Amino acid sequence: MNLSVLYRGALETCNYDCSYCPFAKRPETPEKRQQDTESLEKFLGWVRRETDVQFSIFFTPWGEALPIQRYQKAIAELSHFPHVEKVVMQTNLSARLDFLQECQKGKLAFWCTYHPSQVKREKFLQQCHALKSWGVRFSVGVVGKPSHFQEIQDLRRDLPEEVYLWVNAYQKGSQMYPYTPEQTQLLGSIDPLFELNTRKYASRGKSCFAGETVVTVDEHGDIRRCHFVDQVLGNIHAPDWRNALQSRACSRRFCDCHIGYVHLKELELYPVFEGGILERIPAEKGSGLLRSP
Ligand code: SF4
Ligand code: SF4
């Protein structure tokens, strides 16, 4: 059985200070640290035990986890399990990367977000080059705010050509920013899949791999189909946790985040991101596989 697991523990802290983020510069309290450490250890214990599952693990923390030693150790340990195919983390890429020497690098991938207000492009690029020299796969992304346009173009110019640069459509509150056709064209020339992210997909009643072959797990071990539907389907520490996995229709009106809609069956995005669905790395000819909207 293959299973992708998006793990989000009790962590709620970040070393950056993005103006739009609730975790900005929030330090970790001793209570949260203990809670998160225990939850992560229990999660690792579960993965350790379930050796007949082929896991792909994706850390999607509230905040930034990569600089934290317990997460570095978790990534390293998971990467050595024969039944773990892949370990992925969302990160701002500010962490020291020495810990990679403890990892089986071919199994790692990172979803790296560049925050132009928090780090100089040169420094971020140094980290990208470090990942590349370690032989670790990664995608890089930026929010497509109009004030970022120049940085986005400069980043594309300076990144190694083979690194995919995704651009997320900017949302003001719940509203999608009203890009002009010229702006859409500009961002599309940088990210050939940009338009995919400018839509809200009507998902209610639609079939989705979430809950069937991909699930989220929280700090209590509770299983949900995705980060956007709150219904708890089971718990990884219950003996019958596999019963939670079944095909279900989506209960939300819309799905508009890559980590969700990539699993919506009717969009047929698995061939587009084949080999890099979690870490958002398209197959070599991924954008050419897109159907017309
Ligand atoms: S890097 Fe990410 S988690 Fe940290 S403050 Fe910025 S948006 Fe929030
Ligand atoms: S379509 Fe989106 S919101 Fe609905 S179940 Fe799938 S991932 Fe979750």
- Provide the H-helix boundaries in the chain: 30-49, 69-80, 121-134, 149-158, 181-190, 258-261
Ligand 2 atom at minimum distance from 264 CA? 1
What structural domains and CATH numbers belong to the chain? 2-289 (3.20.20)
CA distance 83 to 207: 28
Q: Which ligand is nearest to the CA of 258?
A: 2
Distance 80 CA to ligand 1 centre (A): 29
SS (H, E, C) 132-147: HHHCCEEEEEEECCHH
Determine whether the shortest distance from the Cβ of 208 to ligand 2 is under 6 A.
Answer: yes
DSSP bridge partners of 4: 56, 214
Any ligand 2 atom below 6 A from CB of 7: no
Question: Sign of the CA dihedral 160, 64, 55, 285?
Answer: negative
Pocket lining: 224 vs ligand 2, CB cutoff 6 Å: no
So what's the pLDDT on residue 176?
87
Ligand 1 centroid, distance to 31 Cα (angstroms): 21
Planar angle of CA 25, 168, 245, nearest 5 degrees: 90
Per-residue pLDDT of the chain (293 residues; tens, 9 = 90+): 999 999 999 999 999 998 878 888 888 999 999 999 999 999 999 999 999 999 999 999 999 999 999 999 999 999 999 999 999 999 999 999 999 999 999 999 999 999 999 999 999 999 999 999 999 999 999 999 999 999 999 999 999 999 999 999 998 877 889 999 999 999 999 999 999 999 999 999 999 999 999 999 999 999 999 999 999 999 999 999 999 999 999 999 999 999 999 999 999 999 999 999 999 999 975 566 666 55
Q: Which protein residue's CA is at the shortest distance from atom 3 of ligand 1? A: 63
pLDDT at 262: 98
Pair of tokens at residue 87: 């370990």
Ligand 1 proximity of 119 Cβ (cutoff 6 Å): no
What does the pLDDT read at residue 175? 84
Q: Is the CB of 283 under 6 A from ligand 1?
A: no
Cα–ligand 1 centroid distance for 18 (angstroms): 6
Point out the ligand nearest to the CA of residue 226.
2
Q: What is the C-alpha separation between 242 and 247, in angstroms, rounded?
A: 12
